[in-house]
A and B are shown apart, each in its own frame.
Chain A
Amino acid sequence: MPPRLPIWGAVAIVVVTLLLAWAIIPRLGSPTDKTVADQFPNDQFPSTYRPLPSRPTVIRGATILTGTDRELKNASILMKDGKIEAVGANVPEPPGAVIVNGRGKFVTPGIIDIHSHLGVYPSPSNEATSDGNEATKPTTPEVRSENSVWPQDPGFTRALAGGITALEILPGSANLIGGRSVVLKNVPSVTTQGMKFPGAPYDLKMACGENPKRVYGEKGGPQTQMGNVAGYRAAFEKAIEYRDKWRKYWKTKGDKPDRDIGLETLALVLDKQIPVQMHCYRGDQMATMIDVAKEFGFRIAAFHHATEAYKVADLLKKNNICAVMWADWWGFKMEAYDAVPEGIAMVDHAGACAMIHSDDPIGIQRLNQEVAKAMAAGRRMGYYITRAHAVAWMTRNPAKALGILDRVGTLEKDKMADVVMWDGDPFSVYTHAEKVFIDGALVYDRANPKLSPRTDFEVGQEYNASTGGAGQ
């Protein structure tokens, strides 16, 4: 005979069940709580990236710049199953592991370039390959750089030889709202999806200043800075209406609104699912954009180019917005006239988040040298800057601004093993990236031509063939 349930027990079960039902059912059934993030699809071109085959690898006895402001002398790093397993003085060396002699070498996290147009403005540069700006109207949130990327751009391989392991490919800055950008792992692939950094958030590229004015000034506008700002606000106002229409539909199940993929992206921006990467040179433009972002409730992750960030570093710190800068570019247009070589160091010194970027297929190959220049300029003005700290300008801080710091950007246990071994101090002009690992796999080896990828475009080109792939 089964044991009988006491009557008070049965009552208790019924009461709890009813309470739960009361608590849960209305919420499950009510459309009011369906959020934009739940409802709008966000990744229609999913990553097919798989780490390349790797063996457990130890770099032994190197100088390690961890990206966390630490410099470890005579230290080792173990990479296993694509992850960083251990970093420090006492690192296990599992049987069968590849042991790399790190004496005299430096190890850093893989370099991350937050601002690149590789693939969308590839080499060779001609009309057929010019895919970075959908300059047909000033607001194009519906486009995505990932749909323009040509994975055979030889620039990717050259960047790899410079230690770039991940990079964000943005649309250009012709438009007020240029479209979505995409974060890639810098691995050779036939498809863009095969490079796509798994789980990295999308960003929205927007642009301040001269470029949209110049492109549209005589094509119906915007023609002025105030026209630019009116343009952003109008676009986000439409996005609010669009979001509200859908919210109403989810609630009442009335007429289904027409889908608009551009406004869908902007609604996700309003919902903070997609941060904004904002091309802005001048300090006053940044202050204006901070207010626009507050008005509509979107999040600016970073100001890019930011040649005047040093003038408003306190404002950037207060608003938790990063500044993405060059070491010494200036003067090519009016809004870049006030750049100073100490800009990165000054923003960093003010306690804001500072970093390097390339925006250039040549510059991306030497971001370590660019950081070296920025660091030296800062020291020369009297700042105390260690190389352990400066390395973050090309690793940790871009990872932070891209929302992938939990996976890359520093050499910490369980992070993706995106690692560069340099043949000397990475902040010397004479130093080369000697080995580059992505997810623990050796993807570039300066000493081994077989580990120096060559794109399809370069195959069978007479003089190119004698120059040596990525590291040429």
Chain B
Amino acid sequence: MKKRVALLALLALPAIAFAQPPGRPRVLQRPTLPRAVTVAPLPFSAQPILIQHGRIYTGGPQGTIGNGDVLIAGGKIAQVGTDLSPPENATIIDAHDKPVTPGLMASWTQLGIIEVDLVAETNDTKPNQTVDSAAFDVADAINPSSTLIPVARIAGVTRSLTAPTDCGEVFCGTAAVIHLGYGPDLLVKRQAGVLVELEPAGGSKQPNTRPDIWAKLRETLDDAREYWAQRAGYHRPGGARDQRTTRIDLDALGAVVRGEEPLIVRVERASTIRQILQYAQATRLKLVILGGGEAWEVARDLAQANVPVIVDTEANLPGSFSDLGATLKNAARLDAAGVTVIFQPQGNDVSHYARTLTQIAGNAVANGMRWDHALAAITRNPAAAWGIADSYGTLEPGKDADVVIWDGDPLNVTSAPAVVFIKGRNIPLVSRQTKLRERYRDLKRKTLPFAYR
């Protein structure tokens, strides 16, 4: 049996919206869009799904395919091409020439480890202890029931590099990659890097000056190297036990000092970026720069060292004396120099506002970045940086089926996903927010209060 899911409502909406006589707004139609377009949640992997007639931005060697198809089976992308023949029992979705992209990845969020910032027991984003902070591992706190996750995924965000937030210490903890589909287990990869901060926290609480930070950084990483060189001798006299760094921190830093996983370095000032590049080269560390307000000034060095930069495209203010050179052109300049650019969501709240990822990418384009490169900065580039490119990041056979059909240009602020798949599962476009919206859609008094709706 073949099911045909029309995107007619989707196509009708812009036409309605732009044929506009002046006057007060009025309801034209019931909110048919999500419901009409969304296939009722499909059983996981049971049936193949064929997306037809899409504008397929594969991000891979197949490039962009006009009037293309994507076949999803068993939670994976089975085939990408034109005129694919639907297998038996396939559900067919006609994308009507709308853009189809990989699910997006927000890099550096606290998705899964935060619910309400100011409600302490829901906020697992930074270490409370100041000593064992590299061992602070976000994977220990991922909550698959967080209401932030549906809010993000119905905006097309299907993956997150979930990491600690700025913590005011040098070492802030260990990051993980998660998917934003159904739980219970969202973890895609544990120990995806360790976050350090090289900019002093401002204000009277400032615990560190730059030389303090560097001394601590070197000592801890030296300790970790020594420890891993003779881990068995930890308890012997003269062994790593005599070090200041605790054993759990040293353990957490293993993959970093071996150069397997990145040190994720929060840094803004150009000269400090140069310093950490030199240090990483000398000690064979893998780096990812986070922030990098003045990174454009060091673009050639970053490109040469093959160090990706997580950019907040909109950060163009001299927020401190460390980023006086902040500019809207940061992403475009880095990209032009050959640096791998990755986007974080809006800097105010990278987790609750994970859905701003497309707006961030769109603004990079508005300020000179190539459109396809901006899309790569929220798909392929983070996949590579976090070591999950074999299973995510492009629309290529064999990868997890994180696929989004958009109702317009995915990077424009007026667009939204019409259909979202994560690991092959169709995601209902529902969140706590859509439910609240429906509850209060009609304010007229009924017999019973809103709580009964």
A residues neighboring B (CB under 8 Å): 69-71, 123-127, 154-155, 158, 210, 214, 310-311, 313-314, 328-334, 337-342, 345-346, 348-351, 360-363, 365-366, 369, 372-373, 375-376, 378-389, 427-432, 457-458, 461-464, 466-468, 471-472
Beyond A124-B319, A329-B349, 5 extra complex contacts between A and B, CB < 8 Å:
A328-B355, A330-B151, A345-B25, A350-B443, A365-B316
Complex contact B13–A366 (CB within 8 A)? no
Report the bound CA distance from A362 to B441 in whole Å: 31
B408-419: CB near A (< 8 Å → 1, else 0) gives: 000111111000
Closest to B28 in A: A384
Give, as a whole number of angstroms, the nearest-CB distance from B422 to chain A.
21
CB of B129 closer than 8 Å to a CB of A: no
CB of B68 closer than 8 Å to a CB of A: no
CB of B203 closer than 8 Å to a CB of A: yes
CB of B348 closer than 8 Å to a CB of A: yes
CB of B294 closer than 8 Å to a CB of A: yes
Complex contact A383–B440 (CB within 8 A)? no
Which residues of chain B come closer than 8 Å to A126, judged between CB atoms?
202-203, 320
Which residues of chain B come closer than 8 Å to A332, judged between CB atoms?
116-118, 349, 352
Which residues of chain B come closer than 8 Å to A389, judged between CB atoms?
22-25
Complex contact B319–A125 (CB within 8 A)? yes
Report the bound CA distance from A403 to B119 in whole Å: 37
Give, as a whole number of angstroms, the nearest-CB distance from A416 to chain B.
23
Complex contact B413–A380 (CB within 8 A)? no
From A330, A348, A388, contact of B433 by CB (8 A): A330
Report the bound CA distance from A363 to B312 in whole Å: 13
Complex contact A432–B318 (CB within 8 A)? no
From A155, A158, A376, A429, contact of B366 by CB (8 A): A429
Closest to A360 in B: B348
Which of A329, A346, A472 neighbours the largest number of chain B CB atoms within 10 Å of its CB? Answer: A472
Contacts of B308-355 to chain A: CB distance below 8 A: 314-321, 324-329, 346-349, 352-353, 355
Which residues of chain A come closer than 8 Å to B133, judged between CB atoms?
none
B25-38: CB near A (< 8 Å → 1, else 0) gives: 11111111110000
Which residues of chain B come closer than 8 Å to A432, judged between CB atoms?
366
Which residues of chain B come closer than 8 Å to A430, judged between CB atoms?
362, 365-366, 412
CB of B381 closer than 8 Å to a CB of A: no
Complex contact A463–B324 (CB within 8 A)? yes
Give, as a whole number of angstroms, the nearest-CB distance from A196 to chain B.
23
> Given the interface contacts A127-B203, A362-B314, A382-B32, does A427 sit within 8 Å of B20 by beta carbon?
no
Which residues of chain A come closer than 8 Å to B85, judged between CB atoms?
none
Interface size range of chain B in the complex? 35 or more
> Given the interface contacts A332-B116, A341-B433, A383-B27, does A376 sit within 8 Å of B355 by beta carbon?
no
> Given the interface contacts A124-B318, A332-B117, does A349 sit within 8 Å of B25 by beta carbon?
yes
Complex contact A380–B317 (CB within 8 A)? no
Which residues of chain A come closer than 8 Å to B21, judged between CB atoms?
386
CB of B124 closer than 8 Å to a CB of A: no
Report the bound CA distance from A328 to B413 in whole Å: 12
Which residues of chain A come closer than 8 Å to B13, judged between CB atoms?
379-380
CB of B1 closer than 8 Å to a CB of A: no
Complex contact A382–B30 (CB within 8 A)? yes
Which residues of chain B come closer than 8 Å to A70, judged between CB atoms?
22
Give, as a whole number of angstroms, the nearest-CB distance from A126 to chain B.
5
Which residues of chain A come closer than 8 Å to B165, judged between CB atoms?
none
Which residues of chain B come closer than 8 Å to A350, judged between CB atoms?
443
Report the bound CA distance from A467 to B333 in whole Å: 11
Closest to B17 in A: A379
Which residues of chain B come closer than 8 Å to A381, judged between CB atoms?
31, 437, 441
CB of B191 closer than 8 Å to a CB of A: no
CB of B249 closer than 8 Å to a CB of A: no
Complex contact A472–B328 (CB within 8 A)? yes
Give, as a whole number of angstroms, the nearest-CB distance from B128 to chain A.
19
Report the bound CA distance from A340 to B440 in whole Å: 11
From B20, B297, B328, contact of A463 by CB (8 A): B297
Give, as a whole number of angstroms, the nearest-CB distance from A152 to chain B.
11
CB of B447 closer than 8 Å to a CB of A: no
Report the bound CA distance from A383 to B29 in whole Å: 7
Complex contact A124–B321 (CB within 8 A)? yes
Report the bound CA distance from A468 to B328 in whole Å: 10
Give, as a whole number of angstroms, the nearest-CB distance from B321 to chain A.
6
B257-294: CB near A (< 8 Å → 1, else 0) gives: 00000000000001000000000000000000000001
Complex contact A429–B325 (CB within 8 A)? no
CB of B363 closer than 8 Å to a CB of A: yes
Contacts of B399-439 to chain A: CB distance below 8 A: 411-416, 433-434, 436-437
Give, as a whole number of angstroms, the nearest-CB distance from A124 to chain B.
5
Closest to A343 in B: B437
Give, as a whole number of angstroms, the nearest-CB distance from B415 to chain A.
8
From A337, A345, A379, A428, contact of B116 by CB (8 A): A337
Report the bound CA distance from A69 to B33 in whole Å: 26
> Given the interface contacts A340-B433, A376-B414, A382-B28, does A124 sit within 8 Å of B320 by beta carbon?
yes
Closest to A68 in B: B22
> Given the interface contacts A333-B116, A463-B324, does A346 sit within 8 Å of B441 by beta carbon?
yes
> Given the interface contacts A346-B437, A379-B17, A386-B25, does A369 sit within 8 Å of B413 by beta carbon?
yes
Complex contact A154–B317 (CB within 8 A)? yes
Closest to A372 in B: B413
Which residues of chain A come closer than 8 Å to B363, judged between CB atoms?
366, 369, 429
Which residues of chain B come closer than 8 Å to A127, judged between CB atoms?
202-204
Closest to B328 in A: A472
CB of B359 closer than 8 Å to a CB of A: yes
B117-144: CB near A (< 8 Å → 1, else 0) gives: 1110000000000000000000000000
